């Protein structure tokens, strides 16, 4: 199984994803590390990515998800904002569970303003919320709590889901 921890930038995908991977004893990967350099430069310049920018990145991630499923599974931190993106991510395998880290614009913006060394500027957060198509088939978790509490909620929800 590959668990995709999804949501807008700044919602805690990496922090929570690493905790989940440790709990499940499977590898953690950050989708940002698979972006082509052109995408990174565009985001650093304060420009949002469009679907054409994302397509090759999503296809690479889909192949990786299949590979990880063939191995021991994995946790992937990935925004996966649109339904079409999630469909691409799971196109190579059905063993994918999406975990949506949901939070308010104000909470996430305040977190983004306090983080250091990330190429996604807070000024692009609104574009992420604008692009977000809330998933209908995902474990939805509120981020208005500590990372350990978020992990606990995820584990409880995954047990309920079977």
pLDDT in tens, 68-82: 999 999 999 999 999
Note whether residue 161 is domain-resident.
Answer: no
Q: The CATH number of the domain where 46 resides is what?
A: 3.40.50.300
pLDDT for residue 128: 86
| Sign of the Cα pseudo-torsion (45, 49, 52, 56, in order) | positive
Q: Is residue 158 part of a domain?
A: no
Enumerate residues 6+ apart whose C-beta is below 8 A from 10.
108, 109, 111, 112, 115, 120, 122, 125
Q: What is the pLDDT of residue 117?
A: 55
CA distance linking residue 34 with residue 156, whole number of Å: 30
Collapsed DSSP state (helix, strand, coil) of residue 14 = helix
Average pLDDT over the chain, rounded to an integer:
91
Give the C-alpha distances (Å, rounded to integers) separating 104 from 7, 118, 149.
11, 20, 17
DSSP tag of 68: H
6-22 pLDDT per residue, tens: 999 889 999 999 999 99
Q: Give the domain range for residue 37.
A: 2-147
pTM of the model: 0.90
Exposed e or buried b per residue across 75-104, where buried means at least 16 C-beta atoms within 10 angstroms of its C-beta? bbbbbbbbeebbebbbebbeebbbbbbbbe
Give the number of other Cβ atoms within 10 Å of residue 53's Cβ: 16
Counted domains in the chain: 1
Tally DSSP H helices, then E strands, for the chain. 7, 5
Tens digits of residue pLDDT in 95-137: 999 999 999 999 998 887 766 555 555 567 888 899 999 999 9
Domain assignment present for residue 160? The answer is: no
């Amino acid at each position: 199984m590959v668990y995709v921890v999804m949501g807008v930038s700044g919602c805690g995908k990496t922090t929570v994803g690493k905790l989940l991977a440790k709990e499940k004893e499977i590898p953690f990967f950050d989708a940002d590390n698979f972006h082509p350099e052109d995408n990174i430069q565009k985001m650093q310049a304060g420009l949002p990515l469009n679907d054409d920018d994302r397509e090759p990145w999503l296809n690479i991630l889909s192949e990786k998800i299949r590979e990880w499923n063939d191995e021991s599974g994995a946790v992937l931190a990935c925004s996966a904002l649109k339904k079409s993106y999630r469909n691409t991510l799971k196109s190579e395998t059905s063993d994918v569970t999406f975990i949506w880290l949901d939070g308010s614009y104000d909470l996430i913006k305040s977190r983004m303003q306090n983080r250091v060394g990330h190429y996604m500027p807070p000024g692009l957060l609104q574009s992420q919320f604008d692009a977000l198509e809330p998933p209908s088939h995902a474990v939805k978790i509120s981020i208005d709590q500590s990372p350990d509490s978020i992990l606990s909620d995820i584990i409880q929800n995954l047990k309920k889901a079977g």
